[in-house]
Amino acid sequence: MDPVNWPTDPRKESALLVGVQHRGQTGADLEDTLEELAQLTDTAGGVVVGQFVCRQDHPHPGHYIGKGKAEEIAEWIATHKPATVIFDDELSPAQGRNLEKIFKTKVIDRTQMILDIFAQHARTKEGCLQIELAQLGYLLPRLRRMWTHLERQKGGIGMHGPGESQLETDRRRIEERMARIRKDLTQVQRHRQELRRGRRRHGWALASLVGYTNAGKSTLLNALTDANVKAYDQLFATLDPTTRQVELPDNQSILLTDTVGFIRKLPHGLVESFKATLEEVVEADLLVHVIDASHPGVEKQIKAVHAVLEEIGAGEKPVLNVLNKVDLLEDNSEILFWQQEHREALPISAAQGVGLDRVVDAVREHQRGGSLDLTLRVPVSDGKALNFLENRATVHDRTYTDQSVTLRLTIGRRQLDQLRATGSRFETLTPQP
């Protein structure tokens, strides 16, 4: 693909994108990746003015791409003068340094851009601390680069000693700051744990929305509750968790949390730093995976979400898959195909409020731990149990005698366990499965 003439917006930072096609990657894969990189650039406040693609099996240790390609790009840069060159993969500190020398312009990688977007979108103290930690972690091994730059500007003689010790001082300061942030974040984590414990004491089940960034998680939370979370056509619009109560039938409720979205090649340092936020996912009883069914790269997005869930230790959680944005699909055939592949996935449109009842029913079914059809005999004196059953189960009919009430009902496995735990002296007349 040759550089193209793109429309430019003079208020935005102009960016040249560089993507690498690795072995086994199809042209469509690459296009999808570059499209995403362009979207990230846009979200970060840049405007794409051109793109280069290099075919390469192994990254060059010195400058990531081949020398010939780097020179070809340098020529383009000399003519078109983009403010930034953005690489789709993470560059080592040395690669970044060398490329800046060849291109004579600022070079950033995908990781740095994602960190930048997070920094722009962080609002709460928790979000700001977590992103600062991730950015400092990224900066630490790259400090030398800034110092070398200084040495070049001021000349080598006499710079070596002070430069070296300045670097050491900077490094130590950064490490101290990182240690301080980690300590503050431990407090945040403790506070979140307390909140969750309190919620559990109320007997509320916790569910967490997960999914690729821009899949529609916040839109779904807003549609199911009055959360009023900002939903934008932007990547990583949400960083800080929001939890709201969703009313389920049978007087039950569940707490649903909307949190940060995932992306392919999510920087590891970022996952590490966002531990406090991601614990909302790790500690949930149920994950509601919001999938953008209209996205051309949807299968890869699903894989990326599964990979992040594995990484944070939430790979084994029960998941309810919802296929969102079905209003954008041309016809039903895609949905039918999807349902063959992912049998239980629920087609919905969060934006248009279609299929939300099914989501609520499925969450409720999960919360009940499956339903049982039973006949129970409860002593009339056990008002507490009778009250519990009237509220928490669906009672089909009641037969009264002097001593007892016989109820034919449908009840969640979990609710039955709760009733047992109260020490109630009910009898089960139908054999339990």
Ligand X SMILES: Nc1nc2c(ncn2[C@@H]2O[C@H](COP(=O)(O)OP(=O)(O)OP(=O)(O)O)[C@@H](O)[C@H]2O)c(=O)[nH]1
Residue 360, exposed/middle/buried by CB under 10 A (0-12, 13-18, 19+)?
middle
350 belongs to the binding site for ligand X (CB under 6 A): yes
| Binding of Mg ion by 219 (CB under 5 A) | no
Selected from 28, 328, 336, 380, the binder of ligand X by CB under 6 A is: 328
Residue 59 binding target from ligand X, Mg ion, none, CB below 5 to 8 Å by type: none
CB 305 to ligand X: min, Å = 11
- Closer residue to ligand X (CB): 234 or 418: 234
**Rg, the chain, Cα only:** 27
Q: Which residue bears the tokens 């969102």?
A: 324
**In angstroms, what is the minimal distance from the CB of 288 to ligand X?**
11
Please answer whether residues 86 and 112 qualify as being in contact, where contact means their C-beta atoms are separated by less than 8 angstroms.
Answer: no
The secondary structure of the chain, three-state, reads CCCCCCCCCCCCEEEEEEEEECCCCCHHHHHHHHHHHHHHHHHHCEEEEEEEEEECCCCECCCECCHHHHHHHHHHHHHHCCCEEEECCCCCHHHHHHHHHHHCCEEEEHHHHHHHHHHHHCCCHHHHHHHHHHHHHHHHHHHHHHHHHHHHHHCCCCCHHHHHHHHHHHHHHHHHHHHHHHHHHHHHHHHHHHHHHHHHHCCCEEEEEEEECCCCHHHHHHHHCCCCCCCCCCCCCCCCCEEEEEEECCCEEEEEEECCCECCCCCHHHHHHCHHHHHHHHCCCEEEEEEECCCCCHHHHHHHHHHHHHHCCCCCCCEEEEEECHHHCCCCHHHHHHHHHCCCCEECECCCCECHHHHHHHHHHHHHCCEEEEEEEEECCCHHHHHHHHHHCEEEEEEECCCEEEEEEEEEHHHHHHHHHCCCCCEECCCCC
**Tokens 């999807």 belong to residue:** 338
Q: Which of 45, 67, 180, 232 binds ligand X (CB under 6 A)?
A: 232
What gap in Å lies between CA 336 and CA 326, rounded to an integer?
Answer: 11
CB of 294 to ligand X, least distance (A): 7
128 or 150: CB nearest Mg ion: 128
The answer to whether 218 contacts Mg ion (rule: CB under 5 A) is yes
Partner touching 215 among ligand X, Mg ion, none, CB below 5 to 8 Å by kind: ligand X
Residue 112 touching ligand X (CB under 6 A): no
Burial, 378: exposed, middle or buried (Cβ in 10 Å; 0-12, 13-18, 19+)? buried
Q: Which is nearer to Mg ion, 38 or 290 (CB)?
A: 290
Closest distance between ligand X and the C-beta of residue 40, in Å?
11
3-state secondary structure 254-287: EEEEECCCECCCCCHHHHHHCHHHHHHHHCCCEE
Looking at beta carbons only, is 98 or 238 nearer to Mg ion? 238
231 binds ligand X (CB under 6 A): yes
What does 262 interact with, of ligand X, Mg ion, none (CB < 5 to 8 A by kind)?
Answer: none
Residue 242 in the binding site for Mg ion (CB under 5 A): no
238 lines the binding site for Mg ion (CB under 5 A): yes
Name the one range near ligand X by CB under 6 A: 26-34, 62-70, 100-108, 225-233: 225-233
Which of the ranges 9-17, 161-169, 182-190, 208-216 carries the binding residues for ligand X, by CB under 6 A? Answer: 208-216
Q: Could you say whether residue 225 binds Mg ion (CB under 5 A)?
A: no
255 vs 326, beta carbon nearer ligand X: 326
When asked if residue 87 is in the footprint of ligand X (CB under 6 A), the reply is no
- Residue 50 or 261 with smaller CB distance to Mg ion: 261
Which residue, 238 or 252, has its beta carbon nearer to ligand X? 238
Interaction with ligand X in 44-83: which residues (CB under 6 A)?
none
Q: For residue 288, what are the β-bridge partners?
A: 209, 320
Q: Is 3 in the site for ligand X (CB under 6 A)?
A: no
Q: Does 349 bind ligand X (CB under 6 A)?
A: yes
Point out which span in 75-83, 110-118, 233-241, 397-405 binds ligand X (CB under 6 A): 233-241
Residue 217 makes contact with ligand X by CB under 6 A: yes
Q: Which is nearer to Mg ion, 185 or 231 (CB)?
A: 231
Question: Under the criterion CB under 6 A, does residue 131 sit at the interface with ligand X?
Answer: no
16 lines the binding site for ligand X (CB under 6 A): no
Chain positions 237 to 256 lying near ligand X, rule: CB under 6 A, are 237-238
Closest separation between CB of residue 254 and ligand X, Å?
19
Identify what 325 binds: ligand X, Mg ion, none; CB under 5 to 8 Å per kind: ligand X
Nearer to ligand X, 98 or 222 (CB): 222
Question: Closest approach of Cβ 94 to ligand X, in Å?
Answer: 33
Q: Which residues bind ligand X (CB under 6 A)?
A: 211, 213-219, 231-238, 261, 324-325, 327-328, 349-351
